[in-house]
A and B are shown apart, each in its own frame.
Chain A
Amino acid sequence: MNDFATILVVDDEPGILSSCEVALTRSGHKVDTASSAEEAVTRIRQEKYDAIVTDLKMPRLSGMDLLRIVKEEKPETDVIMITGYGTIQTAVEAMKLGAFDYISKPFTPNELRSVVTRAIERRRLTREERAKARRTRVAFEYVMPDDLYYLPEHSWARMITEDVAEAGIDDVFQKTIGVVNRIELPSIGAEVEQGSTFAQVYGAGGKVYKLWSPVGGRVVEVNNLLTEDSSVLNTDPYRKGWIVRIQSSDLRKDLANLIDGDALIHWWVKREIVERKTSKYVKVNVLDPEFKHDIAKEPGGENIKVCFACGICTASCPIREIDSRYNPRKIIRMALLGMKERVIGSDFIWLCSSCYICTERCPQGVKFTEVINAIKNIAVKEGHVHPSFVAQMDILAKNSRLYPIDDFDNRKRESLGLPKLSTGEGSAGEICRASGLLDIVKRKN
């Protein structure tokens, strides 16, 4: 699927069928139509479609039946459900069965185009990241904290009290919409249903994305930080990027309709098997919200939290040009999200050449060279140290120089008319012993 896709639209209402066809054709997509699920089944067995946009409620075979057939026979095809009033619960269920997303009637051509664009973007990202994973042996990951409940690939809910939940967007959703330019929040006191729109975000090119509420109830608080700085949705979608707090009349019932974090990995694994993919691209991990604070406490790491993910560091990095494993923007983002073990246990943090170009160009004064040093200092304290540094520290402690000087070197220096240099341990060994560095190296060895 490139920027344009081959799409099958399925609806028993000719008016909706025709308006969807016009909207998507105008965006450059190749569009076929089917007026029933049965006709759609015949078509998908003859043609290859990137996406199917289908009504949920149709006579005889329903959109849900069609979804099951598509996921069985053509699992790589994205299915987008069209729902009407009163069918939102079924749409939530459809997403658990593997539907990519849904749009709620009535919808505008732009809303339809936005959700299709997001499907295209997700496929592109997955394809690129898989190719990269093959090259670099680094698995593609979406981050899914395990203490949340998910409307998969869309939004999340976190229980605050017995009847209040916090809601936001998940990592898949934020990655597929790209940079968020603006968010429209609901008013306090607004009533939302589970699966209905609770906010909308504006991405690049004026694209509008509706956000489905993971729980129903009354909005009791909105995150005004997002109206001042919507980029928080990109940098910290699970903590600072919460969108609303909702008081629910039956929170436990709503949460039961979602997938909880512990079960999410199994949901993804099942999808991986169903879609016959070979590489793992989702990892559920326990995030450490303290990681960014720990980095900020290290010398040089103080400014990590002011990063707004503009990417100048990555665009300027000479190492990144050569090896895509080293991506400063991504490393900061992972650190801000709390992916501590993934970051400090990685090979890529050791690839910085300390050229300081990122530091010079960062408009926020993050000083990424110093931040990566802070991260490496934490890594070393926790036993992750690159073997080449172990060797360097060993040499340094024994000789007080990175390149030892011996009698042969001194004879050579004398023959050139250069003064002799001191040989032997010097004071570096004592300094490294007193500071605890040698103990770390010994443990590593």
Chain B
Amino acid sequence: MRYALFLGCTAPTKSRNYELATREVARALGIELVDLPDFECCGFPLKSVHHESHLLMAARNLMVAEREELDVCVLCSACTGTLTEVNRQLAHNDVLREQVVSKLGGGKGEYVFGSAIAVKHVVRILHYGCHYLRPSEIYDDCEDPEDPHSLDELIEVTGAKSVRYSERERCCGAGVLAIDEEIALSLAQKKLEDVRSSGAHAMVLMCPFCGVMYDENQARIEARSDATYNLPVLYYPQLLGIALGIDPKSLGFRLNRVKADKFLERVI
């Protein structure tokens, strides 16, 4: 298997442990991840303020992949949603597709989008399905967004036990972090409270935005409320890497903000 690796904005700067673990696990599984230097922001940040710019930025990335005839492997859920949605829109709307391609310097009929390239979240490549699949209508093979289970199954194949807890589908709050930090941190704290109550030893994520909230900001959340969580936050490829016997050093654990040493002692 060969994929173009789409890092997006957050993973390569804020969640390098996610990127490291993904590359290691892909290597172990015989998946070739190709770095395309022309990939840029997926356009998600502009969707709510300027639809056309968002569309053009997403389309441009898809055109880069189509030129290389490579399907796209994405680390971030927001990037996955944006690229999947735009890929679908452009495949089904001939007029819009030609306008967009022309604005980006492409020729008539040069790009087809849709079936020409598949956009997949990294977790969907490693196994099947994705935990966060909203809006569900843009995905062809989605699971029930009100009762997702694929991440539980993915966790359990590593030998770990997936713990159910209340409000599992609650948003992490990253989408509103730049607008109102208080709201974003309160949302993240609710989840940390719920996870702590469940008795889980660690959180497993598949999105760097969520990582910003639960890992990078966990100490701030603790400081603002005098709470102590000390809850390690792992990206799924890190957990899978451990199960595949990869050295935790190669999986970027030293970049985790909340140290996972005790967790690693328990599982290795």
Contacts and interface: CB of A to CB of B under 8 A. Distances in A.
A416 B53 contact: no
Interface string B220-253: 0000000000000000000000000000000010
B146 interface: yes
Range, interface on chain A: 35 or more
Interface string A358-379: 0111000001010011001100
B108 to A, nearest CB: 19
Contact of B12 (A413, A417, A431): A413
Contacts of B183: 319, 322-323, 351, 353
Interface in B1-49: 7, 9-10, 12-14, 16, 19-20, 23, 35, 37-38, 40-41, 45-49
A61 interface: no
A437 interface: yes
A353 B56 contact: no
Nearest to A404: B13
B127 interface: no
Nearest to A421: B12
Interface string A414-436: 00111101100011100110110
Interface residues of B, number: 53
A60 B52 CA distance: 73
A144 B47 CA distance: 34
B72 interface: no
Given A352-B176, A388-B179, A377 B41 contact: no
Contacts of A299: 51
Contact of A402 (B10, B16, B23): B10
Nearest to B50: A437
B58 to A, nearest CB: 10
Contacts of A421: 7, 12, 37
A350 interface: yes
Interface in B150-197: 169-171, 173-176, 178-180, 182-184, 186-187, 190
A431 B20 contact: no
Contacts of A360: 134-136, 145-146
A418 B19 contact: yes
Main secondary structure of the interface of B (DSSP, over half): helix
Contact of B45 (A318, A351, A361, A402): A402
Contact of B175 (A352, A393, A402, A417): A352
Contacts of B40: 400-401, 426-428
Contacts of B103: 434
A313 to B, nearest CB: 13
B65 interface: no
A97 interface: no
Given A355-B175, A356-B135, A360-B136, A377 B187 contact: no
A96 B7 CA distance: 65
Given A319-B176, A359-B135, A396-B41, A385 B12 contact: no
A298 interface: yes
Contacts of B136: 360
A353 B134 contact: no
A357 interface: yes
A355 B41 CA distance: 20
A350 B179 contact: yes
A357 B170 CA distance: 9
A191 to B, nearest CB: 53
Contacts of A437: 46, 49-50, 52-53
Contacts of A413: 12, 16
A427 B182 CA distance: 34
Contacts of B9: 401-403
B57 interface: yes
Nearest to A376: B48
Contacts of B175: 352-355
Q: Which of A350, A353, A373, A418 has the most CB of B within 10 A?
A: A353
Given A298-B51, A418-B16, A369 B135 contact: yes
Nearest to B145: A360
B60 interface: yes
B50 A440 contact: yes
A107 interface: no
A405 interface: yes
A352 B60 CA distance: 26
Contacts of B35: 419
B56 A435 contact: yes
Contact of B48 (A323, A355, A377, A422): A377
B13 A403 contact: yes
A431 B41 CA distance: 12
15 contacts: A298-B51, A318-B170, A323-B182, A350-B176, A353-B173, A353-B184, A354-B175, A376-B49, A393-B49, A403-B9, A409-B13, A416-B20, A416-B255, A435-B53, A437-B46
Given A380-B50, A388-B179, A431-B104, 9 more contacts: A360-B136, A389-B45, A393-B45, A402-B10, A403-B13, A413-B16, A418-B20, A435-B53, A437-B46
Q: Which 9 A-B pairs have the closest CB atoms?
A: A355-B171, A353-B175, A356-B134, A402-B9, A400-B40, A403-B13, A388-B178, A353-B176, A354-B175
